[in-house]
Structure formats: C-alpha cells, structure tokens
Amino acid sequence: MLSEFELIARYFDRPQAPDGVVKLGVGDDCALLAPPLGHMLAVSTDMLVEGRHFFAGADPEKLGHKALAVNLSDLAAMGAKPMAFTLALALPSADESWLASFARGMFSLADAAGIRLIGGDTTRGPLNLCITVMGSVPEDQALRRDAAKNGDDLWVSGTLGDARLALEVLQGKSTLPDHLMTVAEERLHRPTPRCALGMALRGIAHAAIDVSDGLLGDLGHILARSQLSADIHAASLPPGPALSQQPVDRQTDYMLNGGDDYELCFTAPPEKRDAVLLAAASAKTPVTRIGSLGTGAGIQILDAAGKSFTFTSHSFDHFGKDI
Ligand code: ADP
Ligand code: MG
C-alpha cells in the first residue's frame, strides 16, 4: 500500500523548472506564485462529490478531466489566463490504477491549458475532488457579472443542451441512438473550457458567466448583479448536435434549463458585434447572438414571431426543494 507521500510523489509531483509565474510548486509548505505586473489574481474553487456530481464507479480519466475543466471554465468566464491549480483529494483507498487514470485525465487537460499543479492535500475519505484554480487578468479587464449594460447584446458560445440529454439517458429516462449518445456523453464527461474565448473577449465583452447550472439560472446571476432584464429569442438558441434531433419544445427546455454545458454566456455592446465575431474566430470557438438586455428585471423568452411565452427556470440548486 502506498503511503500518502509516495502517492503524492508518484502521481501529483511532476518535476518542472520554475516558469514565469510559478516560482515554487508541490513539496513545500506553500507554493509561490508571481502574477504578472499589472494583473489581478483570479481564484476559484469547485468541488466534485461522488453520488452528487458523478456516479459511483465513474471513469477516473474522465473525472480528472472534468474536475479541472469545470474550474478552468470559471477562469474563462472571468477572462483570466490559467496559471496554476491545487488539488484537494479524499480517496477511500490508494488504488493505483484509479490514480494513474485520474492523473492522466487531469494532466492532459492541464498541459493543453498551460496550467500547473502547485500543491494540494490528500486524505482518506469518501471520494471527493476539490480543485482551486488561479489565473491572471489585467486590472479593469475582468468580465464581471455586475458589469452588463442596458442595451447589450446577449451571446452564448458553442452549443447547449447535449450534456443534459446524455444525463437523461444515463438516468434511464430517455434513449438515444448510439452515435448520438457518444456525442452527447462527450459533452457531459469531457466539457471544453472556453479559456481562449474568455481571454479574447477582454476589452470587448462587458459581463460573462459560464453556463454550469442552466442558461436561465446562470444568466439570472448576471441580471441580478447588473440590475437588468433580458429578452432571449428561442429560435436563435444553438442546440447541440444530439439535441437538435429532438422535438423543438424539448430542445428549448434543455437549452434553457439543462446544465453542465460549460459554455460562456456574455454580454457586449451592439457596436462590438464585429469585434465579438473576430474574437470568436481567433479563439476558434463559435458564438451565437441570442438576445439583448434591457432595464427592469427578469427574462422574457420570445418565439419566432417575437411573442413572449412563459418558461419556468428550474436551474440546479443543491439545497433546492426538488432534490
Ligand atoms: P502540509 O502538512 O504542510 O499541509 P502535506 O503533507 O499535506 O503538507 O503535503 C505535502 C506537499 O504535497 C505540499 O506541498 C502539498 O501542497 C502537496 N500535496 C499534497 N497533496 C497533493 C495533491 N493531491 N496534489 C498535489 N500536491 C499535493
Ligand atoms: Mg496538508
């Protein structure tokens, strides 16, 4: 059986030369970081708990990817450049094949995003993965939730709803042909954090949030903080390729109320439309304009004729009534 320190050394301590920002990584009492001058440190934590965020027995490689991806998605939504992360891990046992797969999934995304593991904590307990990410963003360029403006366009990256569709299939509530389930499951298990887009939108977008709990609920956070309302054109919403084969009502429901999309929802002034499209092209990430912001409060969903129809938000809430 591996000791705690052997486990850390074997799976999580990868010797690396100091880089521009990480002066000292795993192995001391603290890691030491030197964020670029004139930048703010952006910090965010997300926890994944077995039985709550993922099924018992879930593929450890996918878990490694997802645990980091959901955190990187928060940096993306702030316009921050990924810099470093810590990993707090509770494990029922030191299962080496589990650890090797988990580390592979996590580090392949870390390497792709240019972010380094600089420390953490390891303990025995029910499986629980908690990552804290650190990024940097130039002062005054963070994409804050309270910075949306009246008259802004509302945009979303990529596509929505496929992760929710995959979850319904895994829960036995729905079925999909294999080739579509493969596509949808990839969205659920291996989300792509939109870091390049978040950074490209600095100085262009006003406010951004990542869509983790459902578009309506997450957009609601921007609106509440910015004290504004929104109109969404239902027909403009971009369905995932699997969801696009479903009846229209279901598409609209999952795009508005699904979860686990990890796309960016952001606002930008209409005169920046070309700049948004250029930023999206440079980040190789498609974006769609889905509505606009106004005064007042709440979200109106408009049909193709511009008529408002009622749609309830049932965004995910861990302490909500229906759980
Ligand atoms: P301390 O007792 O000072 O908190 P630990 O014994 O918990 O230190 O950890 C030793 C070193 O290993 C520290 O640098 C810590 O950041 C790092 N570490 C512990 N667990 C992990 C992990 N899961 N991933 C990366 N680094 C870790
Ligand atoms: Mg410790």
Tens-place pLDDT, residues 159-198: 999 999 999 999 999 999 999 999 999 999 999 999 999 9
> Are 162 and 242 within 8 A, CB to CB?
yes
- 115-167 tens-digit pLDDT: 999 999 999 999 999 999 999 999 999 999 999 999 999 999 999 999 999 99
Rounded to the nearest integer, the mean pLDDT of the chain is 94
Q: DSSP of 184-234, one letter per residue?
A: HHHHHHS----HHHHHHTTTT-SEEEEESS-HHHHHHHHHHHHT-EEEEEG
pLDDT band at residue 9 using 50, 70 and 90 as cut-offs: very high
Cα–Cα distance between 274 and 268 in angstroms, integer?
A: 11
Radius of gyration of the chain (CA): 20
Nearest to 46 by CA among 266, 322, 264, 260: 260
Indicate the pTM of the whole model.
0.94
Cα–Cα distance between 117 and 83 in angstroms, integer?
A: 9
Instruction: Give me the sign of the Cα torsion angle 51, 54, 58, 60.
Output: negative
Predicted confidence (pLDDT) at residue 323 exceeds the cutoff of 60: no
- Give the nearest ligand 1 atom to 121 CA: 20
Residue nearest to atom 24 of ligand 1 (CA): 120
Q: Tell the burial category of 87 from Cβ atoms under 10 Å away from its Cβ (0-12, 13-18, 19+).
A: buried
Nearest to 176 by CA among 161, 166, 164: 166
Cα–Cα distance between 212 and 70 in angstroms, integer?
A: 8
Q: How far is CA 172 from CA 103, 141, 168, 176, in A?
A: 30, 44, 6, 11
Q: Tokens 């990542």 — which residue?
A: 210
- Give the nearest ligand 1 atom to 89 CA: 23
Tell me how far the alpha carbon of residue 130 lies from the centroid of ligand 1, in angstroms.
Answer: 13
**Ligand 1 proximity of 117 Cβ (cutoff 6 Å):** yes
- Percentage of the chain lying above the pLDDT 90 cut: 89
Predicted confidence (pLDDT) at residue 17 exceeds the cutoff of 80: no
- 266-293 tens-digit pLDDT: 999 999 999 999 999 999 999 999 999 9
Nearest to 214 by CA among 163, 174, 280: 163
Name 302's bridge partners: 233, 308
Residue nearest to atom 14 of ligand 1 (CA): 27
Instruction: Give me the sign of the Cα torsion angle 87, 319, 144, 286.
Output: positive
Cα–Cα distance between 128 and 48 in angstroms, integer?
A: 6
From its phi and psi, is residue 38 left (phi > 0), alpha (psi between -120 and 50) or beta?
left
pLDDT band at residue 319 using 50, 70 and 90 as cut-offs: low
Q: Tokens 């001058």 — which residue?
A: 37
Q: Which amino acid is at 138?
A: P
- 56-68 tens-digit pLDDT: 899 999 999 999 9
Cα–Cα distance between 103 and 90 in angstroms, integer?
A: 14
pLDDT band at residue 322 using 50, 70 and 90 as cut-offs: very low
Cα–Cα distance between 48 and 232 in angstroms, integer?
A: 31
Q: What integer pLDDT is reported at residue 216 of this predicted model?
A: 96
Return the structure tokens found at 16: 């690396």
The average pLDDT across 236-265 equals 96
Return the structure tokens found at 233: 């054109």
The average pLDDT across 231-251 equals 97
Q: Tell the burial category of 270 from Cβ atoms under 10 Å away from its Cβ (0-12, 13-18, 19+).
A: exposed
CA dihedral 152, 286, 68, 139 (to 10 degrees): -40
Q: Tokens 């598409």 — which residue?
A: 251
Name the residue of 122, 127, 132 whose CB sits within 8 Å of the most ligand 1 atoms, as the mutation to test its pocket.
Answer: 122
